[in-house]
Amino acid sequence: MANTLPAQTYPRARRIKFRFDRAADDKYFVENDMVYSHFVAGMSGGFPAGEESFIRSVRRVADRVTDPVLEKRVTGFIRQEAMHGLEHRRLNEKLVELGYPIAWLDSEAAKERMLWIEERVPPEVHLAMTAAAEHYTAVLAQRVLANDEIQAIPGDPEVWNLLNWHALEELEHKSVAFDVFRAVGGTERARIGVMLAMYSLTLPLTYLGLALAVGRDPVARRQPVRVAREAYRLFTGPVFRGLMPELGKYLRPGFHPDDIDTAALLSRWQRELFGADGQLVDHLK
């Protein structure tokens, strides 16, 4: 079982700082693609508040976790998620300066709405939401790290460094919330039911959120043909191609995140980013 894995598999919290102050001031930082850039900015905009909600969901039931190995994995999970929120918040400040309409995603009003929802659902449901969301991030992380086509997309180097680091750590802790959910008595019915609701909303909310963001961009509004072409390229490209079936694996009875073997991918990127000559060793604090 995943909650009895050896100590070396504990998620490791790396204290890191990215150099967004040195990032280019080109607004469309992903391949000069307006739609793709808005998509990445929107994801980053939602991460800090999302990570904080994930942490709260696990802390709500932490006193019911008795397995010492799982307790240590939870500690690593919380520390990694806290660092993700911190660094994405720093990136988001830069993105807001560039004109991306993402500040509302991390506003006090948004946090209050999220807390209002969390207070009205049972802890197990909140945790099931986190476990399902962690499957989303793990699937996307695997795509980012395993797909040479995605890695080859031109973009701001420091934003790419952030995304690769975040993806690596999402794979390192991909099963923690899931195992906590099981440990505190979460049922298959609740797990699958929560995911089914989230799954059904994935594409509609993605399309709507991206359309609203692009629609608020005055440059994009003046170039509808370019926007249509870029949107088609995004949603038929390597990020979304085959995404829904991959996400749908979570709906299978008996599914566990570790059923998807990412060990070799993890080992490779741990060396590439944080090995002796790793790309991000000089970013560590």
3-state percent helix, strand, coil for the chain, nearest multiple of 5: 75, 0, 25
Q: Is 18 part of any domain?
A: no
Please tell me the predicted confidence (pLDDT) of residue 4.
Answer: 39
Tens of each residue's pLDDT in the chain, 285 residues: 333 343 346 788 899 999 987 666 789 999 999 999 999 999 999 999 999 999 999 999 999 999 999 999 999 999 999 999 999 999 999 999 999 999 999 999 999 999 999 999 999 999 999 999 999 999 999 999 999 999 999 889 999 999 999 999 999 999 999 999 999 999 999 999 999 999 999 999 999 999 999 999 999 999 999 999 999 999 999 999 999 999 999 999 999 999 999 999 999 999 999 999 999 999 998
Q: Is 103 part of any domain?
A: yes
Please tell me the predicted confidence (pLDDT) of residue 3.
Answer: 38
Q: Is 16 part of any domain?
A: no
Please list, in sequence order, all residues whose beta carbon lies within 8 angstroms of the beta carbon of residue 135, skipping any fewer than 6 positions away: 174, 178, 195, 247, 250, 257
Q: Is 13 part of any domain?
A: no
Q: Is 1 part of any domain?
A: no
Q: Is 22 part of any domain?
A: no
Please tell me the predicted confidence (pLDDT) of residue 185.
Answer: 96
Q: Is 11 part of any domain?
A: no
Please tell me the predicted confidence (pLDDT) of residue 12.
Answer: 85
211: left (phi over 0), alpha (psi -120 to 50) or beta: alpha
With beta carbons less than 8 A apart as the criterion, state whether 38 and 157 touch. no
Domain total of the chain: 1
Please tell me the predicted confidence (pLDDT) of residue 2.
Answer: 38
Q: What angle do CA 150, 156, 162 make, to 5 degrees?
A: 75
Query: Which CATH number covers residue 63?
Result: 1.20.1260
Domain that holds residue 165: 30-283
Q: Is 8 part of any domain?
A: no
Please tell me the predicted confidence (pLDDT) of residue 23.
Answer: 60
**Tokens 């072409």 map to which residue?**
229
